[in-house]
Chains A and B, each alone.
Chain A
């Protein structure tokens, strides 16, 4: 059985003008020891999905329907009290902006030990010792002294490492990393990704990495789910996805990557995807990607919404015109 099974998750935000369907029917699973990458542009619902799993939504948001089965239990049905036991201990999460995600008035050591004292039965001395070990594990030099430093003394990359250390401190089964490298320099990004991989192998942890950067999932993920406008539009193993992308959106995302060498070297402008995502206040009845899709046409795109279907074993796609069914079709054919 998979470690995490999300089924038909729908999360809506209450606004003055109505409900915004931020996550509209998302299902996926994460097996033990595997890394799932969730990719999509800003606003597609990937972060909200993660926050829904953790139960960390803002008061204006609610999980409308869906089950979130973790280790056999439906997290959606747990009380806040029970969820508090799961967070940090079974599932840990790290966030995008390391500059603001740490409490500036508490020492790093304190922010590490309080988690451990909460979930594991350690006393202060043991917790501190373990905290220093954790800092070493994430490659922070002078760990013991730095325990008593405040966050503002750490650089961005180091703070993110601290966040990772905190997340790992109670040996969670699942780590959710929401845009872990987005706020960091490119040079630091690689280091963080390497660290995550290293730790995942060592601790036999499952991971969900959320990002808008295809390069990050290419490197770090075993399986990938591509999200668009609150729904998953393609899901496959990483190799399968990069080898044979099916959904026009995935193709566009890959096409938008700059290629510096290899057979796909391109000179000239990067391909951008024209248009904007749809308004999730009133999601369209039809395919949500159709307005921006070069292959859109016919009723199956503009009248009905395509369902997520298995086009090959282990490869799901939500499109009326996946790549392998498109032989011979001219671009721009619209009814």
Chain B
């Protein structure tokens, strides 16, 4: 058991290195030095100095190694644009906002989506199911920038219930969280519904009923467990979806999160910030997947024995 966990954790290291490598190369491929802006002509001597300062004149492998060393000590380097702030500072300032937004959205999606899926499956093909499916499909198809806009239009402008800017008061968090959480909600609902429908058809559920167990117990002990466990594997893609969504939502609701900052960094050619954030996000996903793997191994006795 422990061996399984350790092996799993160790495997993430070479993969993180690989991702850093890939990101590193992609960043280098972006034409244009951060210091050569179209509106400012920087004297070559100063340019050389800046390059040397940031280590941009060293060969790529040196830069790469230095970067890896830095990352492993959780130092994401200096920002190439904001002279007085390092990437770490930027992350420290903006990431918690995004994390809170994402966390609340995920919570919203799970708390509403999972029971919706369960209910749909247990009342399959009734009007409850159809309504649930309808909501699911809408939430899935309508692009989040549209729902966000709709929210702002109705709740913000017309009816003035919730604020639509910023992230300071609790009520200003309502609309963005719902807008961001809508898609994962439908994902959860559909996933759980499908898993449950499949589980309900399994032979062992029939056995449980044949034993005369009360239906409530059959559902909670036999059906739910085996349905929800596979749903855990969706954690990775859901997290990814939240990250993607947050770029949009933060943009629309003017939330000072990392998603919004990313775009500005790219436009401003801030190498290290872009790379830092990208690496951070990738590492997040990798770690999330790792946890999912481990959790799956703990919860499903079959994988545990097969893997170890």
The short answer to whether A and B are in direct contact, CB under 8 Å, is yes
Q: A residues within 8 Å of B by Cβ? A: 54, 56, 80, 84-89, 92-93, 95, 97, 100-106, 114-115, 118-119, 150, 152-153, 163, 166
Among A100, A106, A115, contact of B202 (Cβ-Cβ < 8 Å): A100
- Is B301 an interface residue when CB atoms closer than 8 A count as contact? yes
- Is B229 an interface residue when CB atoms closer than 8 A count as contact? yes
CA distance A205 to B195 in the complex (A): 38
- In the complex formed, the residue of A with least CB distance to B124 is A59
Q: Hey, which chain B residues are within 8 Å of A89, CB to CB?
A: 212
Cβ contact within 8 Å between A105 and B301 = yes
- Is B267 an interface residue when CB atoms closer than 8 A count as contact? no
Among B213, B215, B221, B225, contact of A88 (Cβ-Cβ < 8 Å): B213
Cβ contact within 8 Å between B203 and A86 = no
Instruction: Count A/B pairs, Cβ under 8 Å.
Output: 78
Among A86, A95, A163, contact of B212 (Cβ-Cβ < 8 Å): A86
Cβ contact within 8 Å between B302 and A150 = yes
Given A56-B206, A95-B207, A152-B301, the answer on whether A103 and B226 have CB atoms closer than 8 Å is yes
Given A105-B225, A114-B221, A152-B305, the answer on whether A87 and B206 have CB atoms closer than 8 Å is no
Among A84, A97, A101, contact of B214 (Cβ-Cβ < 8 Å): A84
Cβ contact within 8 Å between B212 and A118 = yes
5 residue pairs, one from A and one from B, having the closest CB atoms: A88-B212, A87-B212, A100-B203, A88-B211, A103-B204
- Of listed A80, A88, A102, residue having the most chain B CB within 10 A: A88
- Is B208 an interface residue when CB atoms closer than 8 A count as contact? yes
Cβ contact within 8 Å between A119 and B203 = no
- In the complex formed, the residue of A with least CB distance to B202 is A100
Cβ contact within 8 Å between A84 and B226 = no
B209 to chain A, nearest CB (A): 6
Cβ contact within 8 Å between B226 and A54 = no
- Is B94 an interface residue when CB atoms closer than 8 A count as contact? no
Given A95-B203, A152-B302, A152-B305, the answer on whether A103 and B211 have CB atoms closer than 8 Å is no
Cβ contact within 8 Å between A163 and B302 = no
Cβ contact within 8 Å between A105 and B300 = yes
Among B215, B229, B300, contact of A84 (Cβ-Cβ < 8 Å): B215
Cβ contact within 8 Å between B213 and A104 = no
Cβ contact within 8 Å between B204 and A85 = no
Q: Hey, which chain A residues are within 8 Å of B209, CB to CB?
A: 56, 87
Among B210, B212, B300, contact of A119 (Cβ-Cβ < 8 Å): B212
Cβ contact within 8 Å between B211 and A115 = yes
B161 to chain A, nearest CB (A): 43
A191 to chain B, nearest CB (A): 21
CA distance A114 to B207 in the complex (A): 12
For the A-B complex with A84-B215, A95-B207, A115-B213 known, give 10 more contacts whose Cβ atoms are closer than 8 Å: A87-B210, A100-B203, A100-B204, A101-B207, A102-B207, A103-B226, A104-B300, A114-B213, A118-B214, A152-B301
